[in-house]
Amino acid sequence: MPTFADHVIASLKASGVRRLYGLPGDSLNGLTDAIRRDGDVDWVHVRHEESAAFAAAAEAGLTGELTVCVGSCGPGNLHLVNGLFDAQRSRVPVLAIAAQIPAGEIGSGYFQETRPQELFADCSVYAEAVTSPEHGARVLEMAMRAAVERRGVAVVVVPGEIFLGRTGRDLAPTVVRPARTVVRPDDADLREAAALLNDGQKVTILAGAGAAGAHDDLVRLAETLKAPVVHALRGKEYVEYDNPYDVGMTGLLGFASGYKAIEEADTLLMLGTDFPYRQFYPRGAKVVQLDIRGEQIGRRTHVDLPLVGSVRDTLPALLPLLTVKSGRGHLDEALAHYARTRRSLDALAVNDRERTPIHPQFVARTLDRLADRDAVFTVDVGSPVVWAARYLTFNGHRRLLGSFNHGTMACALPHAVGAQAAYPGRQVVSLSGDGGLTMLLGELFTLRQNRLPAKIVVFNNGSLNFVELEMKAAGIVNYATELDNPRLAEVAAAVGLWARRVERPGDLEDALKGAFAHDGPALVEVMTARQELSVPPAVTVEQAKGFTLYAIRTILSGRGEELLDLVTTNVARRVLR
């Protein structure tokens, strides 16, 4: 008679799961032995449970299917928390199996005892403990269904001995697949939305990740309304490509053109986005917000008309109700501003073959040019995500993964692990910061051990670069942000990866081509400029004052050389152009 662990593995297989990410431990022995005996489900052995959760989140984000990570009791599953927060806030279906101490010892202060249901409550849509093999079968089904239908994290807590327990009867594997639904507003709300949009003289569309699968209808909508389309960061891969109405991104990482198109609108249509920064919304405009999650509507700005539904299901019903506009003044002005902004950004992405340190914009643009048509890019938070947002281009086949809602360091490398495990024949490129890479450096061993041919590009500027920028904007002298790194390419080579260190711009292309051609994991360490400002599209008075204070305090603290380097790197290169 099968064990509960056997039932778990059979149910995961029947539901489309092909691998589990984790580290073994004695409280997981029943489960890992069931995986060994089954032989059809892969065990992706990572070096830190946080990475297991990140990797599962990446796979779920790419495939839309349920993925699984595993942690042993106590510290083992506690390490999952940060990666699970990332998965939950990215709204991807992940099942976390958290082993627990022996059931009879719970509440006694036993070795490694924690309370996982309470610990995971804030980063899950479902978290329950199993009390017996029979109970476990029901909990497993409810957890899988919750993760898939609510698109979030579900946690099943299992005392180690229950994995080995017999169910008492033969149980058919649980099969959980997403239900197919159509969700759109009713006809009356659609007519009201159409009336508002038809009346608007300067309509702007702000589209996010919820616009996935609606690209062509979104372009038709923009043409009908003569509306510029601004994309949020998570919407970039779904909205930007083959879109003659796209005017860039807004927000802290965005473009001046995206900010301006929203600021000057008299009507804003929000499609599938919970864009968080309230200072970037227009003042006095009519706002229509469409979201599959009604509870998100109105969280960031006032909304005149809330609409609950998916963008993909709603636009085909809305389009026939709209009047084709003839006036293009607002659109043409936004497109012209975007063209100027794009030229300005592109001018920063060039580099004299000998001038060092290398401009990170140049690195991102070169990556964009050389990477495959269907490459998967993973990016660390901080400056790598800025350069990815501004210089990577998408085409409906490329994908972009990052911790865009949770905003955690060190996500790019473990996200690459999950992406490459899910698609072993696809090019996966991690844009890693030196701080992010070294935080979870052990996952280089994961690439080697699992023979995952991911390509890691490290922006090495010897600092926590984005933190320094935030300090400057607040008027604070940079402190405690220095990173005394070893030669990271040599570290990677010692691990067994193909590796190159690039110090001159003229060597970058050959190094990247070599990494991409290598049949295995590879790392390219690029020595990039530390004092490269990534200015947001709208600088507040407080930020301007803060930077002035930073300059004064830097000089008074005897670090004027740092300020001179900053000015030379940014102002001088723009004047020379």
Any idea which residues carry the catalytic annotation?
Answer: 49, 111-112, 381, 466
Q: What is the three-class DSSP state of 449? A: helix
Interior/surface letters 227-257, b for 16+ CB within 10 angstroms, e for the rest: bbbbbbbbbbbbbbeebebbbbbbbbbbbbb
**Is the N-terminal amide bond of 357 cis, ω within 30° of 0?**
yes
Could you identify the residue written with the tokens 């073959």? Answer: 353
Which amino acid is it at 209?
Answer: A
C-alpha dihedral (458, 92, 311, 182), degrees to nearest 10: 160
Rounded to an integer, what distance in angstroms lies between the CA atom of residue 236 and that of residue 81?
27
- Listed in order, strand segments (DSSP E) in 200-321 are 203-207, 229-231, 246-249, 267-271, 286-291, 305-308
Both tokens of residue 16?
């489309």
Reduce the secondary structure of 155-186 to three states and give it as a string: EEEEEHHHHCCECCCCCCCCCCCCCCCCCCCC
Q: How far apart are CA 567 and CA 387, in angstroms?
A: 20
Q: Are the CB atoms for 340 and 260 separated by under 8 Å?
A: no
Residues 445, 341: Cα–Cα separation, whole Å: 41
The 3-class secondary structure across 301-325, one letter per residue, is CCCCEEEECCHHHHHHHHHHHCCCC
- How far, in Å, CA of 386 to CA of 527, rounded? 17
Residue 182 CA to residue 170 CA, distance in Å, equals 36
Token digits of residue 223? 């043409």
Tokens of 476: 């604070």
Which of 54, 59, 119 lies closest to 399, judged by CA?
59
Q: How far is CA 557 from the centre of its chain?
A: 38
- The two three-digit tokens of residue 153, written as one number: 């994290």
Radius of gyration, alpha carbons of the chain? 25
